[in-house]
Every structure is written in structure tokens, then in C-alpha cells.
Structure 1
């Protein structure tokens, strides 16, 4: 991408007017900043080395993306962040931070014009992505000035979807130690987990608020016990959902709702919309046909039982009716599922799958 030098010399007097005009255009926020895990990742993991880094930079990922190219999205096409961004008036999700970081000028232009994604496959609630945002803000202040940066951030949407990886790791550890712990000890472990995760969540949001963020779009944890790999690990022929894993997710979601209400009462200007991925997932699995699904148990791309015994790789089996499958691979939704999820969170009636307002209302809120 070529950058016109004149675009890099915006004065701090010009920038507020440009940001205000962007925010006023059809209610579109000036930018969206994305934090979370692989459900929102648009390619940050492509820039991370190491055998343990989950990556979606190979077929058949991206088979339904324009050009049928793998982009780093853990999907056959677009993901939830993309569809939420489209709903808010952007072309797609903002690009990955690690693709922008080498060029300060490009990072600033992109952050000001559409936002930046810090989401990374495998990320948990306690990770370093806030440090990436802190670096981004510093560059914005240097180029645009403090006043323009504050205006940009206060009107932008900060999207979060995180927590699933933390719960998977915990559940796996608990399963291996199950026979050695009493029920009371296991309950104490869960309480300790929730306390730790909510503390980290609170610290992250509070730090972002201190740096100027005001509008938070937060997606809770869905029915983890119903993803293909969980059904497989349950060891039953029917592939029933793992109730224990779903209960673990539900408990964290309840604690998250309490946290956000508390933060709203304490942080000046803090506005949020909490999306109920758990409730939406439950409704989908209770009546798959209503969403156009014929299969809500098996991965479309993979192999073996439930398509979850093998990763989605170039030698994997791929279903032809992808729009009728809830899951693309052993963990992630198909593109159509991402679209339906974003639609419900963006403009469904508040109280159905979002509270206290929906994402559309959040994006257009004037502070």
C-alpha cells in the first residue's frame, strides 16, 4: 500500500473535525479496536513463529473468502469481527496489528480510519495485547495530538471475545486430576478460576478506559461443551454436549455480567453492550432448522468422528454444504454462523441476546 506523505502530517487541529465527521456518517463509529481469541483473529497469528502457534494460513481455511485464499481467519470465509464491522459501516474487520506495526505511518492511518485488530488465536484473558494497544495510542498521540486521539478513542468501539481458551485449559487440567480431588476442592478451584479471570478482565477494561476507551462491545462465552472437539472428548457414541464445560462457561458469563454492571457504575462515561453468545448458541442447538442448519455437531473441515479427530488441513475432508453446518472446524463456526451471530448481536431487540443495549445502539451512542 502506498501512503501519500500529506496524509501523515495531519495537525491536531484538523484531526478532531475529521474524526467527528466520520462518527457522524450514518452513525458509524470512527474506528473499531478488536481484542480476543481465534473467533475474531484476522491474521495476527500469521506473524507469530513457533510450532505451538495456532494458524489458519493454509487451505481449506478461506475457501469461501474472496479469491478462496486463507487469510489467517479460523473460518471458511469471514468471521464474527468482519460481520460486526460490516454492520457498523466498515468494509471488514480492521487489519491485524502485527501486519501494521512495522510502519508507524500505516499504523496511524489505519487506526484512525478503521481501527486495528489485536485478536490472536489461542489468546486468553491474561495476555499482552493491551500493550500493543498502548503502543498504538502512543503513535496516535505523536501524529494527531492528545485531543484528537482522545476524541477518536472515546467514539470508537472496543470489541471483546475472550475466555474460551482459559476455560478449555482449566477443564483439561481438572479432568486429569479429577480422581484425586473431592467435590469441595473442585468447587474451590472453579471459584478461584472465576476470581482470577474476572480480576484480569476488570484490569484490562479499566486500563483501556484509562487510555480513553468508552464504548465496549463484549461477547460472552458460548456453549463450549457443544463444539465438535468437546463432543469427541466426551467419549460417548451419541456425541452429547459436555454439560460440565457448559456449566463452567455459564458461571463465567454470570460473573462477567456482574462485573460490567459494576464497572458501569464506577467508570465515568463507560458504556457497554454484553452479547449473550451462550444464549444464542443454546437457541441454535435447540432448533437448528430455524437457523437453516442440518448439522450442529460435526466439523465441516476435519476428519474422523464429528470431524474433530483431525485438524482442518489441506488433506482434510471438507463438506459441500458449508452454509448448513454450524461448525467449520473442530472449534470455530462457519462463515454463515458468524454472519448470523453478528446480526443478532448488532440489532436484535435488547434483552434478547444483548444487554442493556445492542451493538448498533452502542456504536451510535453519543458521549
Structure 2
């Protein structure tokens, strides 16, 4: 497969080099879990975390269920659109391999590696979700892309493109849910372990040339509809406490990396604070910040989101689309805060737009 990719790249070197030279900044590469997945899992055999079915995508153009865990666009789409140069997220890596006629041009304009169910620790959730692409494997896929870009453009130009690119990451929710349900160790040891693993992943990306990291911290997953369903309608405190415990070590890790790794720059979005601010003080337009738009069943709790199940008539009224994930309206709101926000309680030390231009 790698040889096939290289041959395709060499066959269109002139066109691709021209495209890359016209970019004012590098492309965007996206990693993480279902919050940012735009269809990766459609191409993964034995994967149970697939949503290429109605009502998913009901508000996407032509009501296509693309594999996004959303009624329409998700945060990967809304963030890159505001950053400029994109109408929606770059395509999934596995989709590019499956439709390789556009592979070269698309590699130079960014790739989305995110996979629903992915975690910091490889293998988390496998018994429930089957096969997904872990963050470790996503970075291995990026290594293939990085190698082909430098082969295509040459070492110097290729590295400039890679270093000028932006790397958006959202992962960790699945690790925390697994911890709360299994309690394999103490909270302190768990937080230390996943922080150390996150550091390894970030350093591996850095060694491949990444320099500009836009991270989204873990949202208050204890307040998602499925968690509320098991907590009498209230937010699940234990889940949220673990999420809160991870934020400060993550921020400290990023500060340390920025001071020890030359050229390492970052923006950290505090998804917990952002989400809780909406839940506690809903802005105009959000009339329901507790229940799922799709699959909500007041009598029986949470149903799967699929055709013939409950679908709310006004999706933009809801913070949550399904049992776990934000609505398109919520994704657009979050993107505006991440990209342009100035409040350090929501994004620090700079916003995504400033990082993009750095």
C-alpha cells in the first residue's frame, strides 16, 4: 500500500508542489475520538462504533449520514471552517486510501485521522466497540502521510509544510469512562498514567515535525444524556470529578513541552468549562441542555439514535444530539470560542486562530 501511495505521489509532483506553494499556512491534521470523527469508522471492519445511518446526518447537505456522530457538522468541521481555507473537515485518512485518485492533492490539504471510540490507551473499549483506530495508530498513519509529503516536496519544503501545519486533538473521554466503570487503580495513578501516555503521543507527533497543537480537553461527560439517565437526571459527579482532575496535569504537561521542545506551541480549549457554562446558563437558542435530540425516550431512558426512533423537530434547540455527542449548533458555538475566544477560562494561552497564524 505504501508503494502504491508513493507512486501516486510521484506521478503528480508538479501539480501538488504548486498547490502546496500556494498555501499561506500549512494544512490541518485532526486526531482523536468520535467528537472529531468524520467517517473513519465507516472503513474499519469489525467496528461497532459506526453511525453511517439515519438519523445521523439529517441536517448534513442532502441528509447524508457520513459517519459523523452528529445531526450535521461536528467540531472538526466547524473549527476548520472558522480557521479558513476549509468548508468542512479534511477527509478521513482511510477514505483517501479507499479513493486514491485524489490522494496526493488531499494529503497536502490536510487529513482527519479521528476514530469514534479511540482512546489514549490502545485497546480501551475494544470489547464493547470492536476495532477502532487508537490515537497511537492514528499517529502511525500520520507518519505515512508525513513521509510521503517530504518525499513529494523534498525534505526541506516538506518539513516546512509539516511544521507550519496545525494539529487538532480531542481524546481521553473513553479512557475516563473505562476507568470509572472498572477502577483498575487509584485516581492519582490513573491520572499520572494517562498524562504520561498523552506526553508520549505529543512527543511522537513533535518528532514527526508537528509544532502547532490545538487541544480540546475532555468535556463534562457526566452531564451527557446517557450519564444523566443513570444518575436520576442529574450530572454524574464521579465522571465529572475525574474529568476535572485531568485538566490541570494536561495543562502542566503542555506548559512543560512548550518550554522544553523548541518551537512547540499550543492552544488548550477547556471543554469542561465551555460546556458547563452552557449547561448552567444556556445562551439564547438553547432550550434543552440535558436530553438527546435523537433517541430520547422519557419513559424508557435513552434509545439508540436511528430511523424510526424519536427525533426532536428543532435540532438547534438542543445542546446534545444523541446520548453522548453535541449537536451541530453546539459544535458551532464551541468552535467560535476555541477559534476566536479571549477568555482564559475557555481557551489558553492563545486561541486556535492565533495558533494557526503563529
- The equivalent residue for 2:318 is 325
Deviation by residue 1:177-200 (Cα, 9 ceiling, x = unmatched)? xxxxxxxxx8x6211211221111
TM-score, length-normalised on structure 2? Answer: 0.89
- The equivalent residue for 2:80 is 85
Q: Find the residue that maps to 2:267 and give its secondary structure.
A: strand
Residue 304 of structure 1, CA deviation: 2.3
8 Å CA contact retained: 1:299, 1:308: no
8 Å CA contact retained: 2:29, 2:166: yes
Q: Find the residue that maps to 1:83 and give its secondary structure.
A: helix
> Following the alignment from structure 2 to structure 1, what is the Cα–Cα distance between the partners of residues 12 and 156?
17
> Following the alignment from structure 1 to structure 2, what is the Cα–Cα distance between the partners of residues 45 and 343?
27
Residue 63 of structure 1, CA deviation: 0.3
- The equivalent residue for 1:47 is 43
1:310 to 303, 314, 324: 303
> Following the alignment from structure 2 to structure 1, what is the Cα–Cα distance between the partners of residues 343 and 162?
25
- The equivalent residue for 2:92 is 96
- Where does the alignment leave 5 or more consecutive residues of structure 1 unmatched? 24-28, 175-185
2:118 to 123, 134, 147: 123
- Where does the alignment leave 5 or more consecutive residues of structure 2 unmatched? 1-7, 122-133
- The equivalent residue for 2:357 is 364
Count matched residues.
336
Compared with structure 1, are the counterparts of its residues 10 and 280 closer, same or farther at alpha carbon in structure 2 (3 Å cutoff)? same
Compared with structure 1, are the counterparts of its residues 225 and 109 closer, same or farther at alpha carbon in structure 2 (3 Å cutoff)? same
- The equivalent residue for 1:198 is 195
Mapped pair 1:32 → 2:33: no
Mapped pair 1:338 → 2:331: yes
Q: Find the residue that maps to 1:70 and give its secondary structure.
A: coil
RMSD of the alignment, in Å?
2.1
> Following the alignment from structure 1 to structure 2, what is the Cα–Cα distance between the partners of residues 362 and 66?
30
Mapped pair 1:148 → 2:152: no
Compared with structure 1, are the counterparts of its residues 291 and 161 closer, same or farther at alpha carbon in structure 2 (3 Å cutoff)? farther
Deviates further, 219-228 or 125-134: 125-134
1:232 to 226, 229, 232: 229
Runs of 4+ with deviation above 6 angstroms: 4-7
Mapped pair 1:160 → 2:169: yes
